[in-house]
Amino acid sequence: MMNFYAKKNMLIVAGIILVAVIACMAIGMEDYLETKSMSSSLSDLGGVYASQFSDLNLEVEISGRLSESEGIWEEKVSDSWSPDVEIRDQAVTDGGLSGQEPSNKLLRWGISRRPENKTPAADPGAPELLSKYGGVWLGDTEKSVIYLTFDEGYENGYTPQILDTLADNNAKAVFFITGPYLKEHQEIVRRMKEEGHLVGNHTIHHPSLPELGNSQLEEEVLGLDRAYQEKFGQHMQFLRPPKGEYSERSLSLTNKLGYSNLFWSFAYDDWYRDKSRGAQYAYDIVMRNLHNGAVLLLHAVSKDNAQALDSIIKGAQEKGYSIGDPRDLLPHDKVGDEEYDQD
């Protein structure tokens, strides 16, 4: 018959085993929840097909300065490059980059308009930082060429009209899409590609990239790219960081992933569904902000933009500008990485 001490020792061992099992289950659940919140599931190509438009925070599409602020020229730029928000300036080392990590200080892309069709001014040091990591915000300022880019967080019924106008004017553009957009509007995306436009990466869920760890950031970008490549046999080359928020770390990491971050030299608050001001307003604000090498950011959810686009293209041409092919904005080391055939 087992004595008292033997029973006691067995109970102690069983208790230790039980605690270890519970700890392992807790760690496994933590890893599962982190992966689940990050990307839904890898078997779903990063969660693209599980994503919903309701998951996206699109209330503010651009958090930095715009070309104009309610009709008032912003001619003065700060004397030093010092964004007013900082998130986790320390290194984030959960994978992706090796060695010393670049700064993760949150930066907000913004530009200040200068009169007489001069090149807008960006925060001191910002263009150099973009260039260091293959980013672009402006074309050749020696040429009277402008570039059209459209952000497509969700579909508001105007993209087919925009595509019709581009076709009528033989103009090319970049359309930056999210995960739910690819999931719900594959025929529109197919049309973009087949008509010779570029489809750019706006991430799956539209998060602020500096707020993500490396593995989460990679999945937001590469998860969307995998789903696009599966459907259309091509990889994306341009990335537009949601809200225009970035850090040196996000630029470095996405550049290593093969992307060129494409910012802009003109934008206005055109993403509000309840703030329509008419096609004439859209036309006027674009016309007075034209400049050599301009990269125009227009939101395709805007009825004003859709109705004004034909006049914008023709008005720019009357002023001596041509509509450039966005592929010309790719850094030389990325040109030719992908064939853009027209079916």
Q: Which residues are catalytic?
A: 151, 299
- Alpha carbon 82 to chain centroid, angstroms: 22
Task: Decide if 130 contacts 255 (C-beta within 8 A).
Answer: no
Ramachandran class of 45: left when φ > 0, alpha when ψ lies in -120 to 50, beta otherwise: left
Indicate the pairing of strand 145-152 with strand 322-323: parallel
Task: Decide if 94 contacts 214 (C-beta within 8 A).
Answer: yes
Task: Decide if 139 contacts 295 (C-beta within 8 A).
Answer: yes
- Show the tokens assigned to 300: 């395709």
Q: Is 301 exposed, middle or buried (0-12, 13-18, 19+ CB in 10 A)?
A: buried
Per-residue DSSP letter, 106: -
How many angstroms separate the Cα of 121 from the Cα of each of 5, 34, 229? Answer: 81, 40, 36
Taken in order 331, 109, 201, 211, is the CA torsion positive or negative? positive
DSSP string of 268-320?
A: -S---TT----HHHHHHHHHTT--TTEEEEEETT-HHHHHHHHHHHHHHHHTT
- Alpha carbon 199 to chain centroid, angstroms: 12
Q: CB neighbours (10 Å) of residue 31?
A: 10
